[in-house]
Chain A
Amino acid sequence: MMTGAAPPIERRLAFVAEWYQAEAAIIRTFLVTYFVADKAVEVFDQRSKKTFLRRTKIPELTQRDFFVGSKINVFGRQFDIVDYADESTRSNLAKYRKRGFVLLKSHMWQKHLGKFLKTLIQNKININNGQMVQFTSKMVTQFLSGKPKTEVVSSVLMNELLAGPAISLELIGDNVVEIMSACVKYKRGDSGSSSSMKLSSSLEQLFEQEDVRYGIYCPETEEDVAIDLKFFFEERHSIIKECLFKGTTLAIIKPHSIKDGLLGDLIDDILSNGFNVTAMRMILMARINCEEFYEVYRGILPEYIPMVAQLASGVCMCLEIASSDPGKSSHSDFRTFCGPMDPEIAKLLRPQTLRAKFGKSKVLNAIHCTDLPDDTNLELQYMFKILD
């Protein structure tokens, strides 16, 4: 009866979302409806059959944030979208917005991570989640146990994974599974499916290089994707790579840069300017955690509140940065590399810095870096240890 009252033209997306109530330690299910026309969100409590949040405009959310598997932040409350709530949304989105998984081996990402991310984003494949992982032999066997690979491939893969830290990424995009498997098979010529899938020129250019082609692992079917995603991002295997906590500093790529698709450019810039990434994870921070994290800035910077709002507005990427030259202080080096807080000043004084290139305003300045030298370990610990 409600659908009859609503105007027929209005496009809306309906999802089933879950919210973990920490006090009661229960997961509650909600119906989240997104109205495309006015960017409004409505939340309906399915258990009490009452509207939890009436139709409210939330301009920082876009249509691209809504897909199964995404985490959205509505007034500081994190909803995990787990399913479509109606058939029209399913038929609209399920066809296109698929989840994919890719694992970048250690020798590949250290050279090509930035370019790889850039190319994916260019081809409208979003990075939804990611972390740097360090396998133990037990973990590798567990990971490879369900794989229908031949022995040789498995053992090679096992050795490669044990050789160094790998990066696992959750991808979201149209037909992402097919695209990624076609990329892996590009130029191998052993399968007929590669000819059916036409790759874009930028992808072709990237996968022209052999070490990129052999440096990634991706599952070929959607079921495998689901299994791998579950293994890496849902089950707690504590395989995330530990931070060094020694001569390193923290960098957070802010949500607005990720939403604008600058992730690849930023990482490329960081890696090509004499810095190494020693740990990485992508998280959606709750507002309260952001406030806690930025506690030092309260009363010091007038932009404290918008800074918190920006950090809580979406997924951010936390990186542990180490200078490739062990003689230098990575903290001060990286801080200099990021540039002044205000991108306008940065553009004027240090046009080569990250904030000058990618920042927009004092709040949307693309990247956060630890300001106090004593705080590096504290912030790293907060991001990689305390938050979970």
Chain B
Amino acid sequence: METIEFLSRTSRRNLKSQIGWQVAQRMRQWSEDLDDRRMQLYVQLQNEALQVDEEVAELLRLRADEAERQRHEWIHMERLKREEAEQELLKVKQQQREIENSEAHRHMQIKQILWESKQAQLQQIEDRRALKRRQACVEILWQRVWQRLDESREQQQQYEQQLRRLLEGQCQTENLARDQQQKRQLQQQVLQEQRECAEALEVAAANDVRKREMELQQHQAKRRQQLTDLQAQIQQNLRLTASQAADNQREDVASNMREDRQIYEELMQKQCDRALNRDWHQQYMTHTAAERAAHRQGELERERAYLGTGCVLGQRPKQPYGRAVR
């Protein structure tokens, strides 16, 4: 529908909706087209994928076939080769057997073997001989070495000996003189010592005797001293006990007298106290009687003074009241 024609017939609002509708329609068309294209593409890709799949499968199958064929071929070839080899072997074996079977061949073979063993023996003997020779050589060599070693050692010892002798010869006389002197000194010393020893022994013997005497004397003196000490002690003890007994007696007497005196004094004191108490009591009684009389007198006088005045003299003072008091 043309816009001009549309405008002439309808309002603007509807034009807008018309445009919107057209846009929507176009969009729908586009999406349909897109779907269509997608479908086409899908089909095409699917077909191609199938084709490719088929081709790959074919290729793989061909490869597998090829591999199998090759394997078969190889096996076949291998078998042929093996058969051929077997044939060859059989032929050779046959030939060998034939050769072995013939007499001449056997004789020749024995001869050959004998000859070879002889050769081997000879060779062995030769070898052994060579070995022995070699051993002998080695032994000789060792002997020589040992000899050489011994010689050198001897030479060395000899040389050492010579050297030692030379050194010794130089200082032998000196050594001898010194030795003699030392010996002499030693002898003198020994003699001296022996003499001193004898003297000392004598002195010791004398000292011994003296010492034994002194000890005896000392022992006796000690005994004696002990005896006298003991006697003196006994006497003193006796004296002491006597004096003690006298003292005790004296003291007893004195204490008796003292006790008697004390008892007497106490009795005297008691009597004095009693007399004093009695006096004081009498004094007190009289005093209280006088006091009471004075008081009664005072009362009487006061009553008399207030007689007829109407004053209440003997009023009781006011008592507090309350639960505690009650």
Could you tell me the distance between the alpha carbons of A8 and B171 in the complex, rounded to whole angstroms? 92
CB distance from A356 to the nearest CB of B (A): 12
Q: How far is the CA of A375 from the CA of B42 in the complex (A)?
A: 14
Q: Which residues A261-304 have CB closer than 8 A to chain B?
A: 295-301
- Whether a CB of chain B sits under 8 angstroms from the CB of A340 is yes
Beyond A300-B45, A348-B59, is A374–B52 a contact (Cβ under 8 Å)? no
Q: CA–CA, A372 to B42, complex, Å? A: 10
Would you give the shortest CB distance from B62 to chain A, in whole angstroms?
12
Number of interface residues of B (CB under 8 A): 13
Fill in one digit per residue for A309-351: 1 if any B CB lies within 8 Å of its CB, else 0. 0000000000000000000000000000000100001001100
CA–CA, A295 and B38, complex, Å: 9
Q: Is A87 an interface residue when CB atoms closer than 8 A count as contact?
A: no
Complex CA–CA separation, A349 to B49 (angstroms): 13
Report yes or no: A300 in contact with B56, Cβ–Cβ below 8 A.
no
B38 and A299: CB pair below 8 A?
Answer: yes
Chain A neighbourhood of B44, CB < 8 A: 371-372
- With CB as the reference atom, state the residue of chain B lying closest to A339: B52
Q: Distance (Å) between the CB of A344 and the closest chain B CB?
A: 10
Contact B52 A371, beta carbon cutoff 8 Å = no
Q: Is B41 an interface residue (CB 8 A)?
A: yes
Contact of B38 among A300, A340, A349 (CB under 8 A): A300
Using CB atoms, name the residue of chain B closest to A335.
B48
Residues of A within 8 A of B55 (CB): 349
Min CB gap A351→B, angstroms:
12
- State the Cβ distance, B27 to closest chain A Cβ, in Å: 14
CB distance from B239 to the nearest CB of A (A): 122
Q: How far is the CB of B87 from chain A (nearest CB, A)?
A: 45
- Which of A298, A299, A340 is close to B52, meaning CB atoms less than 8 Å apart? A340
Q: Mark B33-53, 1 if CB is under 8 A from A, else 0.
A: 010011011101100100010
CA distance A131 to B52 in the complex (A): 36
B48 lies within 8 A of A340 (CB)? yes
CB of A198 to closest CB in B, whole Å: 50
Asked if A296 and B59 sit within 8 Å, CB to CB, the answer is no
Closest to A340 in B: B52
A345 contacts which of B37, B40, B42, B52 (Cβ < 8 Å)?
Answer: B52
Cα A371 to Cα B55 in complex, Å, equals: 20
Q: Is the CB of B52 within 8 A of A372?
A: no
Q: Which of B40, B41, B52 contacts A349 (CB 8 A)?
A: B52
**Within the assembled complex, what's the spacing in Å between the Cα atoms of A298 and B38?**
8
Range, interface on chain A: 10 to 19
Question: For residue A345, which residue of chain B has the nearest CB?
Answer: B52
Q: Once the chains are docked, how many angstroms separate the CA of A375 from the CA of B41?
A: 10
- Determine if B45 and A371 form an interchain contact, defined as CB atoms under 8 angstroms apart: yes
Query: Would you call B45 and A349 a contact (CB within 8 A)?
Result: no
Contact present for B56 and A372 (CB under 8 Å): no
Q: Beyond A340-B48, A345-B52, A349-B52, is A300–B41 a contact (Cβ under 8 Å)?
A: yes
* Nearest-Cβ distance from residue A361 to partner chain B, whole angstroms: 16
Residues of B within 8 A of A374 (CB): 37, 40
Complex interface: chain B residues within 8 A of A345 (CB): 52, 56
| B219: min CB distance to chain A, Å | 114
Check A295/B34 contact, CB under 8 A, given A349-B52, A349-B56, A374-B40. Answer: yes
Least CB distance, B75 to chain A, in whole angstroms: 28
Bound Cα distance from A298 to B48, whole angstroms? 18
Chain A residues with CB under 8 A of B48: 340
Distance from A297 Cβ to chain B, minimum over Cβ atoms (Å) = 7
Within 8 A of B (CB), among A370-388: 371-372, 374-375
CB-defined contacts of B59 to chain A, threshold 8 Å = 348-349
Residue from the list A301, A340, A349, A372 in contact with B37, Cβ < 8 A = A372
The digit string for B54-93, where 1 denotes a CB below 8 A from any CB of A, is: 0110010000000000000000000000000000000000
Residues 10-30 (chain A) with a chain B CB within 8 angstroms: none
Question: In this complex, what residue of B is CB-closest to A371?
Answer: B41
> In the complex, A299→B42 CA distance in Å?
9
* Cβ–Cβ contact B56 & A296, under 8 A: no
Rounded to whole angstroms, the CA-CA distance of A375 and B34 in the bound complex is: 11
Kindly report which residue of chain A lies nearest to residue B40, judged by CB atoms.
A372
Report the Cα distance A295→B37, complex, angstroms. Answer: 10
Q: How far is the CA of A296 from the CA of B30 in the complex (A)?
A: 12
* Alpha-carbon distance between A62 and B124 when the two chains are bound, in angstroms: 84
Question: Using Cβ atoms and an 8 Å threshold, which residues of chain A touch B52?
Answer: 340, 345, 349
Bound CA span A349–B40, Å: 25
Q: Which A residues are CB-close (under 8 A) to B45?
A: 300-301, 371
CA distance in complex: A298, B37 (Å): 11
Known: A348-B56, A349-B52, A349-B56. A300 touches B42 (CB 8 A): yes
Query: Is the Cβ of B41 less than 8 Å from the Cβ of A297?
Result: yes
- Name the one of A340, A348, A372 contacting B41, with C-beta atoms under 8 angstroms: A372
Closest to B58 in A: A349
Instruction: Give the CA-CA distance A340 to B59 in the complex, in Å.
Output: 15
Chain B residue, CB-CB nearest to A300: B42
A348 to B54, CA, bound (A): 13
User: Cβ of A296: which chain B residues have Cβ within 8 Å of it?
Assistant: 34, 37-38, 41
In whole angstroms, how far apart are the Cα atoms of A296 and B33 in the complex? 10
Which B residues are CB-close (under 8 A) to A375?
37
- Complex Cα–Cα for A258 and B55 (A): 31
CA A234 – CA B177 in complex, angstroms? 134
Measured between C-beta atoms, what is the minimum distance from B53 to chain A in Å?
A: 9
Cα distance A2–B81 in the bound complex, in angstroms: 83
Task: State which residues 1-54 of B face A: CB under 8 Å.
Answer: 34, 37-38, 40-42, 44-45, 48, 52
Distance in angstroms between the alpha carbons of A371 and B39 in the assembled complex: 12
Question: B46 — nearest CB in chain A belongs to which residue?
Answer: A300
Tell me the bound Cα distance from A299 to B55 in angstroms. Answer: 26
B23 to chain A, nearest CB (A): 18
What is the bound-complex CA distance between A375 and B44, given in angstroms? 13
The docked-state distance in angstroms from the alpha carbon of A374 to that of B34 is 12
Minimum CB–CB distance from B227 to chain A (whole Å) comes to 120
A interface residues, Cβ below 8 angstroms from B: 295-301, 340, 345, 348-349, 371-372, 374-375
Interface residues of B (CB under 8 A from A): 34, 37-38, 40-42, 44-45, 48, 52, 55-56, 59
The 5 residue pairs across chains A and B that have the minimum distance between CB atoms: A300-B42, A296-B37, A349-B55, A340-B52, A372-B41
Pairs A–B under 8 Å by Cβ, sample size 15: A295-B34, A296-B37, A296-B41, A299-B38, A301-B45, A340-B48, A348-B56, A349-B55, A349-B59, A371-B41, A371-B45, A372-B40, A372-B44, A374-B37, A374-B40
